[in-house]
A and B are shown apart, each in its own frame.
Chain A
Amino acid sequence: MTIARPYPRLTPENAFFWGSGKDGVLRFQRCGGCGHFLHPPSPRCPQCLGADIAIVPVSGRATVLARTVNQHQWHPAFPPPYLIALVEIEEAPYVRLTTRIVNCAPDEVAIGMRVRVVFEAQGPAWLPLFEPDRG
């Protein structure tokens, strides 16, 4: 029996985020009142407590804040090694994603490296992975 990779359970609150990659665009919630980006999704803005929350596209560009090469097999569908990174979103560096950096060797990934989003379908979700932004 093949065990699939786990995917996020979709809810009314998170479906926009996990479905966003369908058209290749990364999106986050943003407060209509003060412009603060919210992540993970929230019913109100923690900055101004506004409830006027919109879903907005971002460029998909990000910067690597930290990275680790995972070398242990935690799950049958995730053979090591692979590169896990914490990236800061360009439009709002306080918004971070834990993700994987793909399309390069793990040891090529450095702190400060510029990356761009590339989506991968996993179950019903589109996972925002990142690749080196060579452009």
Chain B
Amino acid sequence: MMDKFESKSRITGIGLSQVGRRLGLNPVGLAIDACLAALGDAGLTRNDIDGLACHMGPVSSDGYSGAGVIDVEEVLRIHPKWFVSGHEMAGHSGPILQAALAIAAGLCRHVLIFRSTWESTSQARMREGQDAAPVAPWVEGDHQWRLPFGAFSAANWIALYADRHFHQYGTTREQLGAIALNARANAALNPYAVYRDPLTMDDYLSARMISTPLGLYDCDVPCDGAVAMVLSAADAARDTRRPNPIRIEAVGGQTSERWSWDQGTIDHEPLMKGAASSMWSRTDLKPSDVDMAQLYDGFTFNCLSWLETLGFCPMGEGGRFVEGGASIALDGELPLNTHGGQLSAGRLQGYSFLHEACIQLWGEAGERQVPRGPQVAVISTGGGAPGGAMLLTQG
């Protein structure tokens, strides 16, 4: 394979803040907690860090973003030589691609990457009238094409894709339910998961409908929390406490479809195929080499669509692939979202998948450890919104 930029970086530390519903904590503080945990995990101090990167940007009142680069820099005073934040990137994991490029270019040695969110507290404050809900009389930009019609939520937009998938391929609610049940079973073994009580297929099918065919348990759980990781230059990884830093085998984030929720593709969520194909084009590994998948599951259907676009099954076969749950269980052929995903562990905006992949590759996942020492993990973030995919391998 080519001499690629991915091979110049290693993941040397990962950190998590407190995670939960309505924590009522400062979301910048959550980001700092995660950053300090990641630094401790890598055995580094803030003085070692010379780059900062995050997905999104400054704290937003809707809770989606809990900290930007400037918010964190105001506390940590790293004086980064290089930094980036934003949304127009290769999925939520886009900042990792950017940081790997910056490291390969020699701009920095150790980059701290983070993502904080406080949607649960933000939504509670709005409901209780402590914050005014942002109900401007008008909408603009991309929202103008959906919100005036009552299509307010990604639950509606993704329900349309799911409806089409059901129609075209015979996919069923029970098949989507297998993804939700798998997530809950794994969450039961994850101490930081938001929802850990058992979930049965009857519970899933009888839960209130949100937007057909998606019911309550097809939707992920807003939460508060933050994740951070340290990405180090390969030759600087020896400065850390990790004898076995994780390699980035390949990243993918090509935009091969329109950035739109309703124009373009309809048989899979937009912006997934380009991410998947560009990732596979940068590696000799194949889907059959992957030991576990940590795939974005803002909704069960996201996850199903990633399984298909990443090539774990043919297009349209995702429902049959997950049916019954055996293939995606912890001891199945492709353990899926082993921490419970965003569906049960909480919506950490794509970053819990990265956290979980690292923990699993390092063999530190405790009760939920994937058996037989997994060597290769695939991660995906987003889809619909920009999509990103990444292959990580055991050092």
Cross-chain contact A98 with B140 (CB below 8 angstroms) = no
Cross-chain contact A39 with B263 (CB below 8 angstroms) = yes
Cross-chain contact A8 with B152 (CB below 8 angstroms) = no
A96 to B261, CA, bound (A): 10
Which among A6, A72, A125 is the interface contact of B136 at CB below 8 angstroms? A6
The minimal Cβ–Cβ distance linking A1 to chain B, given in whole angstroms, is 10
Note all chain A residues with C-beta closer than 8 A to B138: 6-9, 123
A57 to B373, CA, bound (A): 62
A96 to B147, CA, bound (A): 15
Cross-chain contact B210 with A72 (CB below 8 angstroms) = yes
Q: Which segment of B53-61, B153-161, B272-280, B323-331 sits at the interface?
A: B153-161
The minimal Cβ–Cβ distance linking B9 to chain A, given in whole angstroms, is 35
Taking the complex as formed, is B46 at the interface, i.e. its CB lies under 8 A from any CB of chain A? no
A111 to B267, CA, bound (A): 14
A96 to B151, CA, bound (A): 14
Cross-chain contact A100 with B149 (CB below 8 angstroms) = yes
Instruction: Answer whether A66 and B140 are a contact pair too, CB < 8 Å, given A71-B208, A84-B149.
Output: no
Cross-chain contact B163 with A82 (CB below 8 angstroms) = no
The minimal Cβ–Cβ distance linking A44 to chain B, given in whole angstroms, is 15
Cross-chain contact B157 with A98 (CB below 8 angstroms) = yes
Instruction: Answer whether A4 and B137 are a contact pair too, CB < 8 Å, given A14-B144, A84-B151.
Output: yes
A71 to B211, CA, bound (A): 6
Note all chain B residues with C-beta closer than 8 A to A86: 160, 262, 266
Q: Which 6 interchain pairs have the tightest Cβ spacing?
A: A74-B152, A68-B159, A8-B144, A9-B138, A66-B160, A66-B164
Instruction: Answer whether A70 and B151 are a contact pair too, CB < 8 Å, given A14-B144, A86-B262.
Output: yes
Instruction: Answer whether A69 and B211 are a contact pair too, CB < 8 Å, given A6-B139, A74-B153, A123-B138.
Output: yes
Note all chain B residues with C-beta closer than 8 A to A100: 149-150
A65 to B136, CA, bound (A): 31
A44 to B318, CA, bound (A): 38
Most buried by B among A67, A68, A98, A122: A68
Which residue on A lies nearest to B153, using beta carbons? A74
Instruction: Answer whether A94 and B155 are a contact pair too, CB < 8 Å, given A8-B139, A67-B163.
Output: no
A85 to B146, CA, bound (A): 10
Q: Interface digits, A100-135 against B, CB 8 Å rule (1 contact, 0 not)? A: 100000000001000000000011010101000000
Taking the complex as formed, is A20 at the interface, i.e. its CB lies under 8 A from any CB of chain B? no
Cross-chain contact A70 with B163 (CB below 8 angstroms) = no
Interface extent on B, as a size class?
A: 35 or more
A84 to B155, CA, bound (A): 11
Taking the complex as formed, is B1 at the interface, i.e. its CB lies under 8 A from any CB of chain A? no
A11 to B141, CA, bound (A): 10
Q: Interface digits, A60-91 against B, CB 8 Å rule (1 contact, 0 not)? A: 00000111111110110010001011100000
Q: Interface digits, B324-367 against A, CB 8 Å rule (1 contact, 0 not)? A: 00000000000000000000000000000000000000000000
10 contacts between A and B (CB under 8 A): A3-B135, A7-B137, A11-B140, A75-B135, A84-B156, A84-B211, A86-B266, A98-B160, A100-B149, A123-B137
Cross-chain contact B156 with A70 (CB below 8 angstroms) = yes
Which among A11, A67, A95 is the interface contact of B160 at CB below 8 angstroms? A67
Show the binding face of B for A, using Cβ within 8 Å. 135-140, 144-153, 155-157, 159-161, 163-164, 167, 208-214, 261-263, 266
Note all chain A residues with C-beta closer than 8 A to B151: 70, 84, 98
Taking the complex as formed, is A43 at the interface, i.e. its CB lies under 8 A from any CB of chain B? no
Which residue on B lies nearest to A127, using beta carbons? B148
Note all chain B residues with C-beta closer than 8 A to A74: 150, 152-153
Cross-chain contact B164 with A68 (CB below 8 angstroms) = no
Note all chain A residues with C-beta closer than 8 A to B150: 5, 70, 74-75, 78, 82, 84, 100
Most buried by A among B161, B209, B212: B212
Which residue on B lies nearest to A70, using beta carbons? B211
Cross-chain contact A98 with B163 (CB below 8 angstroms) = no
Instruction: Answer whether A9 and B140 are a contact pair too, CB < 8 Å, given A66-B266, A71-B210.
Output: yes
Which residue on A lies nearest to B139, using beta carbons? A6
Note all chain B residues with C-beta closer than 8 A to A72: 153, 155, 210-211
Cross-chain contact B146 with A98 (CB below 8 angstroms) = yes
A39 to B263, CA, bound (A): 8
Cross-chain contact A96 with B167 (CB below 8 angstroms) = no
The minimal Cβ–Cβ distance linking A114 to chain B, given in whole angstroms, is 16
Most buried by B among A9, A11, A72, A75: A72
A111 to B162, CA, bound (A): 12
Instruction: Answer whether A68 and B153 are a contact pair too, CB < 8 Å, given A6-B138, A86-B262.
Output: no
Which residue on A lies nearest to B144, using beta carbons? A8
The minimal Cβ–Cβ distance linking B142 to chain A, given in whole angstroms, is 8
Cross-chain contact B263 with A94 (CB below 8 angstroms) = yes
